[in-house]
C-alpha cells in the first residue's frame, strides 16, 4: 500500500506566536507557562499553565472545524457523562496567524493507545457516552462529506485505497466483506450527533477508566454506526456485546443493520488509517488491528 504522510503545516505555530496572541487577546493568560503538547493532522496543542491549552489549526482545512467546535460543543457537553474540550475562550486571527483558535481545558489522562484499562469498564463507559451523544441533531448541524454518510458514498475511495494493497490476495477478504456491508440498508432515522473521528487516540484514560473524549473536529450529524466502529479498534471480542448494550439508546437501536454498517465503517476507516499514517506508527497499527478484527467478526 502507498502510505501517505501527515499533511504539512501551512503556518508555523510555536511558543512565541501563542504568547503573542495571548498578550494581544487574553493578556491575563500570557504570563502562564507554555508547553508544546504536539500536533495531529489538523491542530497543534499548546498547554497553558496547569489547567488550559490553546488549540490552533495548522492548515486551512481545519479552520472551519475549530469554529464548529466553538459553536456546538458547549451545547452538547451538559448531557454527556464525560468531559470534552469545550472552548472556554476563543481567539481571532492576529500576529500574522490567519485563523480562529480556542482556549480549552487541559484534560489530563493518557491516550487509550498507550494506557492500560479494563475492557468491560471501557465498553460500558464508552457505550454510555455514545448513547448520550447520539441524539437528533438540529437542522443546521454540520455535515461531513466523509463521515456519517451512507456507506455507498465511500465506495469509490474504499476501492481506491484497497487497490493500493501490495498483494492481490490482501484485497480479497476486505472486498468480499465490503460488498456485503455496502448493500446494507442505510440509517433510517434522523441524523444524530456523532463524534466522527472516534478512535483510541481520541480517548483519555485515568486510573484505568475512560476519563475524557477529545478532538471533535469531525463533529457532525449522520449515521451513529460511524462511531460504533470504534469497538473493533479498541475492544476484545468478549467486551463488544457490553459496549453495544451500553450504546443502545432511544435514537440508536442496535439492530443487525446497524451492526453491519458499523462493521463497514470499521473496514473503511481501517483502510484510511493505513493509507494515511506513514509517519504515525500508532495509527498504522490501529488500521491493521481494526481490519483484522472486522474480518474475524464477519467470518
At 169 the pLDDT is 54
Q: Which domain holds residue 20?
A: 15-105
Low-confidence ranges of the chain (pLDDT < 70): 1-5, 165-169, 277-279
Residue 262 has phi, psi (to 5 degrees) of -60, -40
The DSSP 8-state label assigned to residue 200 in this structure reads G
| 236 falls within a domain | yes
pTM: 0.94
At 5 the pLDDT is 60
Do both 241 and 275 map to the same domain?
A: yes
At 167 the pLDDT is 56
Do both 160 and 177 map to the same domain?
A: yes
SS3 assignment for 272-298: HHHHCCCCCHHHHHHHHHHHHHHHHHH
At 168 the pLDDT is 56
Q: How far apart are CA 19 and CA 24, in angstroms?
A: 9
Q: How far apart are CA 81 and CA 56, in angstroms?
A: 26
The full DSSP string for 210-227 is EEEE---TT-EEE-THHH
> How distant, in Å, are the alpha carbons of 65, 187, 190, 210 from that of 85?
14, 28, 26, 15
Contact between residue 262 and residue 231 where contact means Cβ atoms under 8 Å apart: yes
CB atoms within 10 A of CB 240: 20
At 281 the pLDDT is 87
Domain boundary among 105, 131, 158: 105
Do both 183 and 293 map to the same domain?
A: yes
The DSSP 8-state label assigned to residue 188 in this structure reads -
| 7 falls within a domain | no
| 210 falls within a domain | yes
| 249 falls within a domain | yes
Domain boundary among 88, 105, 122: 105
Domain boundary among 46, 81, 105: 105
The DSSP 8-state label assigned to residue 49 in this structure reads T
Do both 146 and 263 map to the same domain?
A: yes
| 3 falls within a domain | no
At 298 the pLDDT is 81
Number of domains into which the chain is organized = 2
Residue 177 belongs to domain with CATH number? 3.90.1200.10
At 4 the pLDDT is 56
Do both 268 and 207 map to the same domain?
A: yes
Do both 40 and 94 map to the same domain?
A: yes
| 2 falls within a domain | no
Contact between residue 196 and residue 226 where contact means Cβ atoms under 8 Å apart: yes
> How distant, in Å, are the alpha carbons of 27, 62, 84 from that of 100?
17, 10, 19
Do both 129 and 184 map to the same domain?
A: yes
Residue 30 belongs to domain with CATH number? 3.30.200.20
Do both 73 and 171 map to the same domain?
A: no
Non-local CB neighbours of 271 within 8 Å, separated by 6+ positions? 158, 161, 162, 174, 287, 291
The full DSSP string for 89-158 is EEE-SBTTB-S-EEEEE----EETTT----HHHHHHHHHHHHHHH-SBPPTTS---SSSSS-GGGGHHHH
At 2 the pLDDT is 46
Q: How far apart are CA 130 and CA 260, in angstroms?
A: 18
| 8 falls within a domain | no
| Closest of 209, 254, 221, 187 to residue 76, by C-alpha | 221
Do both 58 and 134 map to the same domain?
A: no
Do both 146 and 280 map to the same domain?
A: yes
At 1 the pLDDT is 46
Amino acid at each position: 500500500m502507498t502510505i501517505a504522510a501527515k499533511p504539512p503545516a501551512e503556518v508555523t505555530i510555536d511558543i512565541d506566536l501563542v504568547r503573542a496572541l495571548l498578550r494581544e487577546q487574553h493578556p491575563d493568560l500570557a504570563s502562564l507557562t507554555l508547553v508544546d503538547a504536539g500536533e495531529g493532522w489538523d491542530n497543534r496543542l499548546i498547554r497553558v499553565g496547569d489547567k488550559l491549552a490553546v488549540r490552533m489549526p495548522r492548515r486551512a482545512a481545519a479552520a472551519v472545524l475549530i469554529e464548529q467546535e466553538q459553536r456546538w460543543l458547549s451545547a452538547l457537553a451538559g448531557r454527556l457523562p464525560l468531559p470534552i474540550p469545550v472552548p472556554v475562550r476563543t481567539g481571532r486571527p492576529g500576529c500574522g496567524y490567519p485563523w480562529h483558535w480556542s482556549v480549552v481545558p487541559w484534560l489530563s489522562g493518557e491516550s487509550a493507545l498507550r494506557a492500560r484499562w479494563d475492557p468491560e469498564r471501557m465498553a460500558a463507559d464508552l457505550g454510555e457516552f455514545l448513547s448520550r451523544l447520539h441524539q437528533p441533531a438540529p437542522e443546521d448541524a454540520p455535515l461531513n462529506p466523509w463521515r456519517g454518510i451512507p456507506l455507498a458514498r465511500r465506495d469509490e475511495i474504499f476501492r481506491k485505497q484497497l487497490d493500493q494493497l501490495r498483494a492481490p490476495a490482501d484485497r480479497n477478504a476486505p472486498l468480499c466483506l465490503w460488498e456485503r456491508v455496502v448493500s446494507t440498508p442505510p440509517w433510517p432515522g434522523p441524523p444524530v450527533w456523532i463524534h466522527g473521528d472516534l478512535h483510541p487516540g481520541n480517548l483519555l484514560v485515568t486510573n484505568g477508566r475512560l476519563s475524557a473524549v477529545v478532538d471533535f473536529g469531525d463533529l457532525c450529524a449522520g449515521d451513529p454506526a460511524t462511531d460504533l466502529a470504534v469497538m473493533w479498534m479498541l475492544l476484545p471480542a468478549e467486551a463488544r456485546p457490553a459496549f453495544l448494550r451500553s450504546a443502545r439508546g432511544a435514537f440508536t437501536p442496535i439492530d443487525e443493520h446497524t451492526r453491519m454498517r458499523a462493521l463497514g465503517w470499521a473496514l473503511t476507516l481501517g483502510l484510511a488509517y493505513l493509507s494515511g499514517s506513514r509517519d504515525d506508527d500508532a495509527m498504522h497499527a490501529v488500521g491493521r488491528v481494526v481490519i483484522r478484527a472486522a474480518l474475524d467478526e464477519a467470518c
